[in-house]
Amino acid sequence: MVHPLQAKMAQKTKQLADAGRLRQRRVVGAGLIDFSHNDYLGLASCEPMKAAATEGAERYGVGAKASPLVSGYSQAHQALEQALCQATGHQACLLFCSGFSANSALIETLFDSDNTVVADKLIHASVIDGIKHSGAKLKRFLHNDIESAQRILTKLEPTVVLTESTFSMDGDKAPLNELSALCKQHGSWLIVDDAHGFGITGIGEQVNSNGLSAVTADIADIQVVTFGKALGCQGAAVLGSQQVIDYLVANARHYIYSTALSPANAHVALAAINYIQATPTLIDKLNNNIALFRSLYQQSDVSSQYLLADSATPIQPIIIGADSEVVALANKLSKLGFVVGAIRSPTVPKGAARLRITLSATHTSEQITNLVDALSLSLS
Name the active-site residue from 77, 124, 173, 285: 124
Give the residue with the Cβ less far from ligand PLP, 103 or 216: 103
Give how many residues touch ligand PLP by CB under 6 A: 14
Site for ligand PLP contains 203 (CB under 6 A) = no
Nearest Cα residue to 371 out of 305, 310, 316: 316
Give the residue with the Cβ less far from ligand PLP, 81 or 193: 193
Cα distances (angstroms) measured from residue 340 to each of 81, 331, 380 = 34, 9, 17
Site for ligand PLP contains 168 (CB under 6 A) = yes
Cα distances (angstroms) measured from residue 12 to each of 5, 15, 16, 22, 351 = 11, 5, 6, 10, 21
196 classed as catalytic: yes
210 classed as catalytic: no
CB of 214 to ligand PLP, least distance (A): 15
Give the residue with the Cβ less far from ligand PLP, 252 or 374: 252
Partnered with residue 260 across adjacent β-strands are: none
Name the active-site residue from 38, 104, 180, 213: 38
CB of 102 to ligand PLP, least distance (A): 7
Give the residue with the Cβ less far from ligand PLP, 36 or 289: 36
Site for ligand PLP contains 228 (CB under 6 A) = yes
Tell me the residue nearest to ligand PLP as measured from the CB: 99
The interface with ligand PLP within residues 77-136 (CB under 6 A) comprises 98-100, 103, 124, 126
Chosen residue from 195, 225, 266, 296 binding ligand PLP by CB under 6 A: 195
Give the residue with the Cβ less far from ligand PLP, 74 or 126: 126
Name the active-site residue from 81, 108, 120, 164: 164
CB of 32 to ligand PLP, least distance (A): 21
124 classed as catalytic: yes
Site for ligand PLP contains 297 (CB under 6 A) = no
229 classed as catalytic: yes
Nearest Cα residue to 84 out of 285, 205, 222: 222
193 classed as catalytic: yes
CB of 10 to ligand PLP, least distance (A): 29
Task: Tally the residues of the chain.
Answer: 380
Site for ligand PLP contains 144 (CB under 6 A) = no
Site for ligand PLP contains 347 (CB under 6 A) = no
**How far apart are alpha carbons 174 and 154 in whole angstroms?**
20
Integer distance in angstroms from the first to the last C-alpha of the chain? Answer: 50
CB of 212 to ligand PLP, least distance (A): 17
CB of 35 to ligand PLP, least distance (A): 16
DSSP β-ladder status, 160-164 and 116-120: parallel
**How far apart are alpha carbons 213 and 176 in whole angstroms?**
12
**How far apart are alpha carbons 368 and 344 in whole angstroms?**
24
CB of 347 to ligand PLP, least distance (A): 10
164 classed as catalytic: yes
38 classed as catalytic: yes
Site for ligand PLP contains 236 (CB under 6 A) = yes
Q: CA neighbours within 13 Å on the CB side: how many for 362?
A: 15
Q: Which residues bind ligand PLP (CB under 6 A)?
A: 98-100, 103, 124, 126, 164, 168, 193, 195-196, 226, 228, 236
Would you name the residues annotated as active-site residues?
38, 124, 164, 168, 193, 196, 229
